[in-house]
């Protein structure tokens, strides 16, 4: 590792305030160029949509399946095609809270199969003539452009999406977002020896698993998990949150560091810290082997 690259962490998360214009792929590539790391993003935004774009770099890209599944929150400006009262708009919006059916738009990159998504909340913030400003909290993969069209049908006026901004993705909201210019400036001064501004912008991988159930493991078990060993109850010192067999679980150190993700081999109620029996099978390991002292013995082959 060169001295220049040493000032940039090997792995982490940056919440970028994506501007309107470039694609999510282009913005992510710029972040990769700024940091000098391989990158990935969680949740595509159309070029004309702004807001929270979660960019992972280094080993944190393995968290993509978790981040992609996070709920999203948007503020949308919708234009009605005819006059309508606020009461009728609010009544129609209330009908869309819950499970809805959607088909991806024709321009979408995915297959146009009918899908079910859940709308947790729609809040009409303001109306000015035929312009309707609303906030929506929804499942990942919900098409807000399609939601506007369907809302217009329900109101009886027809409608289309005028502007859209994502204000939250999972636990990451726009208050934590930084612009590309801010990130580039922070990386530049970090390479000159002042790393604090960049450190404030880069979040640890553990920030991505705030909503997941967790198991806390012994220091002596960390390196074994880093080598792909299935975790037994004797290596567990604690657990946070409940999980079912087969669900994804975050594997943590006692210091709050994310070792990786695993799949529950038992229900959380059956996991007894300190007792024998396999409990978690690692699926994605983020921590590098050797980070913690080796506390296990390899069996010699005969």
Strands 236-240 and 214-217: antiparallel
Annotated catalytic residues are 46
pLDDT score of 154: 97
pLDDT score of 296: 58
pLDDT score of 113: 84
Q: Any alpha helices (H) in 179-280, and if so which ranges?
A: 180-191, 196-201, 219-226
State how far the Cα of 99 lies from the Cα of 125, in Å rounded to an integer: 22
3-state secondary structure of 257: coil
pLDDT score of 2: 45
In the numeric block, which tokens belong to residue 241? 């949150």
State how far the Cα of 184 lies from the Cα of 108, in Å rounded to an integer: 31
Helix (H) or strand (E) holding 40: strand 39-42
Q: Which domains does the chain show, CATH number per domain? A: 11-68+172-206 (3.30.2350.10), 71-169 (3.30.70.3190), 212-285 (2.30.130.10)
CB 294 within 8 A of CB 228: no
pLDDT score of 99: 96
* Per-residue b or e along 131-156, where b marks 16 or more CB atoms closer than 10 Å to that residue's CB: ebbbbbbbbebbbbbbbbbbbbebbe
* Per-residue b or e along 211-238, where b marks 16 or more CB atoms closer than 10 Å to that residue's CB: ebbbbbbbeebbbbbbeeeebbbbbbee
Residues of the chain with pLDDT under 50: 1-3, 299-302
Dihedral of the CA atoms 156, 161, 165, 170 (nearest 10)? 60
Burial class (CB in 10 A: 0-12, 13-18, 19+), 189: middle
CB 170 within 8 A of CB 56: no
| CA 61 distance to own-chain centroid | 11
Locate tokens 């657990």: which residue? 239
pLDDT score of 302: 38
> Directed axis angle between helix 86-95 and helix 144-155, to 10°?
120
Locate tokens 């079910």: which residue? 116
């Amino acid at each position: 590792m060169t001295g220049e690259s040493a000032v940039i962490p090997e792995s982490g998360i940056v919440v970028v305030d994506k501007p309107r214009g470039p694609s999510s792929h282009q913005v992510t590539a710029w972040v990769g160029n700024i940091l000098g790391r391989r990158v990935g993003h969680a949740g595509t935004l159309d070029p004309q949509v702004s807001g929270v774009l979660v960019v992972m770099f280094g080993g944190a890209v393995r968290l993509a399946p978790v981040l992609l599944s996070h709920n999203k929150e948007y503020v949308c400006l919708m234009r009605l095609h005819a006059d309508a009262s606020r009461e009728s708009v609010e009544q129609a919006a209330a009908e869309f809270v819950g499970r809805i059916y959607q088909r991806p738009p024709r321009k979408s990159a995915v297959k146009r199969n009918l899908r079910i998504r859940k709308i947790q909340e729609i809040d009409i913030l303001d109306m000015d003539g035929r312009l309707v400003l609303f906030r929506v909290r929804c499942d990942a993969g919900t098409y807000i452009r399609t939601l506007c069209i369907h809302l217009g049908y329900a109101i009886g006026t027809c409608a289309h999406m005028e502007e859209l901004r994502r204000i939250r993705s999972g636990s990451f909201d726009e208050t934590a977002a930084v612009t590309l210019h801010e990130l580039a400036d922070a990386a530049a001064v970090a390479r000159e020896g002042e790393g604090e501004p960049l450190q404030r912008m880069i979040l640890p991988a553990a920030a991505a698993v705030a909503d997941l159930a967790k198991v806390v493991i012994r220091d002596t078990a960390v390196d074994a998990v880093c080598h792909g060993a299935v975790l037994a109850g004797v290596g567990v010192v604690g657990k946070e949150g409940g999980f079912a067999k087969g669900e994804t679980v975050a594997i943590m150190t006692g210091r709050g560091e994310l070792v990786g993700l695993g799949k529950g081999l038992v229900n959380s109620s059956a996991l007894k810290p300190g007792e024998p029996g396999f409990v978690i099978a690692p699926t994605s390991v983020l921590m590098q082997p050797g980070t913690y002292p080796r506390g296990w013995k390899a069996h010699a082959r005969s």
